[in-house]
Amino acid sequence: MQLPLDHVHEALKTAECLYTEAQLQSAFDKMAAQLDFLKEQDPLFLCVMNGGLITIAELLRRLSFPLQYDYIHATRYQADTRGSQIIWRKEPCSTLVNRVVVVVDDILDGGITLASIVSYCKAQLAKKVYTAVMLDKPSGRLLGGVEKADVVGLTIPDRFVFGCGLDYHGYWRNLREIYALDPKFHSKP
Ligand code: IMP
Ligand code: MG
């Protein structure tokens, strides 16, 4: 859904910048360094679209060992009270059998999405599944969710954030910083 552009601009103007581009770049450097242990393991990186787009791009540009890349697009089935069912918009094309898989997403919040994707990878007989996220919102965890990602860039407080792949109603994924939305924008526009 498109929104009036003055509303979209106002959401950014009133938001609080939590992390600058420089802070994010240095977080991506650290994340990439932590992934170096995979250099002999021929890993398959799986980007969780759409939010993981910037994170995967920043990481891949920093990794110089052999790796393969694919993407998945999954969304949580809202009506399911168990909360762990995901709907696939796009399953990975690559076979996961016996692969070392690194699932890359923008944020670990409730952890349900990542938990579902990790169990999917294991059900597809991946040898090992690691998780890497740009942001961790520890206060958001839900029962049954992933508690901790293997590689984390930066930690954020209990705020709705956007920028660097994360969106506000589909907008502002293109920003180079991370912003926290002003609470007055939490209700539907
Ligand atoms: P969860 O960990 O199952 O709650 O879901 C994580 C997904 O929800 C992420 O991949 C994001 O797409 C989305 N998400 C969670 N928190 C935020 C936020 O603060 N801003 C934008 N998207 C978010
Ligand atoms: Mg997402």
Q: Whose CA is nearest to atom 11 of ligand 1?
A: 107
Q: Say whether pLDDT at 187 is over 80.
A: no
Taking the centre of ligand 2 as the mean of its atom positions, its distance from the CA of residue 153, in whole angstroms, is 16
Q: Say whether pLDDT at 83 is over 50.
A: no
- Ligand nearest to the CA of residue 89, numbered in listed order: 2
Taking the centre of ligand 2 as the mean of its atom positions, its distance from the CA of residue 176, in whole angstroms, is 17
Q: Whose CA is nearest to atom 19 of ligand 1?
A: 160
pLDDT exceeding 70 applies to what percent of the chain? 94
pLDDT digits (tens, 9 = 90+) for 120-147: 999 999 999 999 999 999 999 999 899 9
Q: Say whether pLDDT at 79 is over 60.
A: no
Confidence (pLDDT) at 93: 87
Q: Which helix (H) or strand (E) holds 72?
A: strand 68-76
**Token couple for 168:** 């506000």
pTM: 0.94
